[in-house]
Structure 1
Amino acid sequence: MDRAEALLIGGRSGAGKTTIGWEVSARLRAAAVSHAILEGDFMGQVHPAPEGDPDRSWITARNLAAVWANFAELGYRRLIYTNTLSVLPEAAGMFQRAMGADVRIVRVLLTASDATAGERLTGRELGSELAEGLRASAHKARLLDSRVPPDTVRVTTDGRTVTDIASEVVAATGWTGDPAADAL
């Protein structure tokens, strides 16, 4: 396989992106499917923001390109990338520049109700940013719902197990070529 492929897992804070990304990786490892995984939130974590890059999109794109170049040099062609807004149409250019113009992009939007996201965030946000995190999560849920491309696979996470959700996400990629392996 020469063509690069990216599984973009997006969703509001508290939807389960990181947890599902790692479970998808575990399922792909079990099926002997070569891949790399990146937590997109870490690609632009600098303070202060670079001059001229207030939303840190330039540094994120630059870091993605550098890390992907290392993965590609080692022969990897599939990437799992988790980040809230990675499924929006404007993010595609960043992946095309980093992975090649013909990269196959699979977008998965994880959704969660306000109650579910609130419960998850309250359980993990132990510092000073809970209130802002809850507000931003609700805002981004509405933004994502209205702006993701029509081919985005929407996966509800409320009341479901991690393994059940990951099965649905792996199936959306077609990377195993085996529906039985996708349902491990």
Structure 2
Amino acid sequence: MATALLITGTVGAGKTASADALGDLLTDAGVPNAVIDLDWLRRAWPAPPDDPFQSALTLRNLGAVTANFLEAGAERLILAGVIESREERLRHEAALGVPLTVCRG
């Protein structure tokens, strides 16, 4: 069964670098994986006035990208991004469709 790990923390904490390094370690160990930077899934302009951080777009894109990675054989999904509440965590796990563990750096 596929699983996901989200590395979260403040801006500039090294989330993306950590996710990249973990993806490399999994690759070296022969574990099929994919690394997803949540910032790139939301990068669009303009943002809706009621969703300035593009949360809805992020989750839609996360679901689509995850489905493609899982279909391609990924067993571990490594995400880098900011989640600030339990509710956000639950929404991200639902979009992923696989169990999500969160690590705060």
TM-score range, shorter chain: 0.7 to 0.9
* Cα shift at 1:7: 0.5
Structure showing greater radius of gyration is 1
Confirm or deny that 1:107 pairs with 2:105.
Answer: no
Aligned equivalents of 2:104, 2:22: Cα separation in 1: 14
What is the number of residues matched between the two proteins? Answer: 105
Q: Is the 8 A contact 1:61 1:94 kept in 2?
A: yes
2: CA distance, partners of 1:74 / 1:25: 16
Letter in 1 for 2:22: V
Tell me the percent identity.
Answer: 38
Matched residue, 2:20: 22
Name the Cα RMSD after superposition: 1.8
Between structures 1 and 2, the one with greater strand share: 2
Equivalent residue letter for 2:95: A
Question: Distance between the aligned counterparts of 2:49 and 2:64, measured in 1?
Answer: 20
Match of 2:56 in 1: 58
**Shift of the alpha carbon at 1:29?**
0.9
Larger helix share, 1 or 2: 1
Report deviation, 1:13.
Answer: 1.2
Q: Unaligned regions of 5+ residues in structure 2, if any? A: none
Q: Hey, what's the Cα distance between the residues in 2 that align with 1:20 and 1:34? A: 17
Higher relative contact order, chain-length normalized (CA < 8 Å, sep 6+): 2
Aligned twin of 1:34? 32
| Residue ranges of structure 1 left out of the alignment (5+ in a row) | 111-184
**TM-score normalised per structure 1:** 0.52
What is the identity, as a one-letter code, of the residue corresponding to 2:9?
G
- AA in 2 matched with 1:88: S
Indicate whether 1:97 and 2:90 are aligned: no
Please state if 1:10 is matched with 2:8. Answer: yes
